[in-house]
Structure 1
């Protein structure tokens, strides 16, 4: 399985991630892109800050992707997550999953993002008009 993992302060490049996954053997490529929104839990969000334990996060993301590969026949995956300060509208995470068939690509992509948000050591601070707080994924 081909796996690309990026944890970066630089803006995410969707086209490059899709190109890293695309292959003639794949019939389904699913892209999930999470973007910073201007509100959360009744608050007006100004921006987000992400922090990460990089080595552990990369290891855990790789394990999640391998599990998805075993369950859904994933052949190629790219997972990219931003760190540092992100403005409203910027992509915080992009996941691209390639499988021979579309149903498996959807299932694997959902599993990867849900498991990543629940288990990987990436922390989010919401800076709102009325204060700031660290929140769970």
Structure 2
């Protein structure tokens, strides 16, 4: 049974929402996951730059520099693509959960409309005089 006063947003209401799945916490959690994944991609980018510098310093000469530059460019391009893919992945999940919330709101509206319609029919039936059999 939900709390009687739904307009008051206290800690007990939040606790009740979490227990009954009336409020989904996945949306805010996805934001934290997005930033954590973005941090991993940035670490990958730093690793690519470090590997390219290490490759360039491994042996003196122009050949190692010519090899290190394409490694760095390709690695940074892959890191950029990973940022875009990670963003799209997280936006997909946010969109799915927003659709879920919209469907829940539509369901509540539909249930309220059905209840109002049933109450209206009950009032009409009570207002009609009973018919006598012939």
TM-score (norm: length of structure 2): 0.26
**Higher normalized strand content (fraction of residues):** 1
Of Structure 1 and Structure 2, which has the larger fraction of its residues in helix? Answer: 2
> What TM-score do the two structures reach when normalised by structure 1?
0.25
**Does 1 or 2 have the higher relative contact order (CA < 8 Å, sep 6+)?**
1
Find the structure with the greater CA-based Rg.
Answer: 2
